[in-house]
Amino acid sequence: MQPDLQPIRSNEQTIGRGGSRYAPGMELPGVDSQRVLRNTYLLLALTMVPTVIGAFVGMATGAVIVQHPMAATLIMLGAVIGLQFAVIKNRNSPLGVVLLLLMTGILGWWMGPLLSMALTLANGGQLIAYAAAGTGVIFFGMGAIATTTKRDFSFMGKFLFVGMIALLLAMFANMFLQIPALALTISTLVIVVFSLFLLHDLSRIIRGGETNYIVATTGVYMSLFNIFVNLLSILMLLSGNRR
């Protein structure tokens, strides 16, 4: 099972200096939240390009992840968390976009071995399509709730963070225990937690709580990544047909 990666979030607003010139991703107080949401969706679509490229590379070269899952997991966690900090630090410059795309490419590569395992199944391609469709349904469902409801979901942030940490520890423990039922339970809870994270982040964007679309895209992408990976893992465990 892939580790659950928590996106780093930042509420800090930084106003550009030097006249009226502002860097990409930067939004001024009072900005139209719909513009931030639109820019987030556009950048999110762009992240799919390095993700797909990375996935193909990972399918061809990801044997090291399969052979050394614990070491690879720890190294990848460190790299992704470091890149998230770098994205936050450079959120008001084009470098932030470059770092975000680099991170999504690395995560695509990391996902490659899972996709390779799925494609060894007789119905592997179908399961990948189901996982992608399920992720899309969750994304649009959470977006619809965030858009139509007047409720503020920001209160969920701390509870979801604690839940994510608990699931991460359980995932590491199951690398040693190798209990299929526990893996299934963890993956199910991951989907629930990151679906709520998705709702939380989209709600913050719509309400103006997050005004930088580079940071917003990072959070939304990480939620979608975890949902897709764990949904595919569940489908493979429950519905995979060996050739």
93 located within any domain: yes
For residue 241, give Cα distances in angstroms to 1, 118, 125.
Answer: 18, 10, 11
The whole-model pTM stands at 0.84
- Predicted confidence (pLDDT) per residue in 82-135, tens digit: 999 999 999 999 999 999 999 999 999 999 999 999 999 999 999 999 999 999
159 located within any domain: yes
Residue 121 DSSP one-character state: B
Buried b (16+ CB within 10 A) or exposed e, 85-118: ebbbebbbeebbbebbbbbbbbbbbbbbbbbbbb
How many beta carbons lie within 10 A of that of residue 203, not counting itself? 22
The mean per-residue pLDDT over the stretch 167-182 comes to 85
Domain that holds residue 155: 33-239
pLDDT the model gives residue 180: 87
pLDDT the model gives residue 27: 41
The mean per-residue pLDDT over the stretch 160-174 comes to 87
How many beta carbons lie within 10 A of that of residue 222, not counting itself? 25
224 located within any domain: yes
205 located within any domain: yes
12 located within any domain: no
- Predicted confidence (pLDDT) per residue in 192-223, tens digit: 999 999 999 999 998 888 889 999 999 999 99
At residue 5 the predicted structure's pLDDT band, cuts being 50, 70 and 90, is low
Q: How many domains does the chain contain in total?
A: 1
Q: Which residue has the tokens 């052979």?
A: 67
- Predicted confidence (pLDDT) per residue in 16-70, tens digit: 223 333 344 444 444 578 889 999 999 999 999 999 999 999 898 877 777 777 7
19 located within any domain: no
Nearest of 2, 71, 40 to residue 225 by alpha carbon: 2
22 located within any domain: no
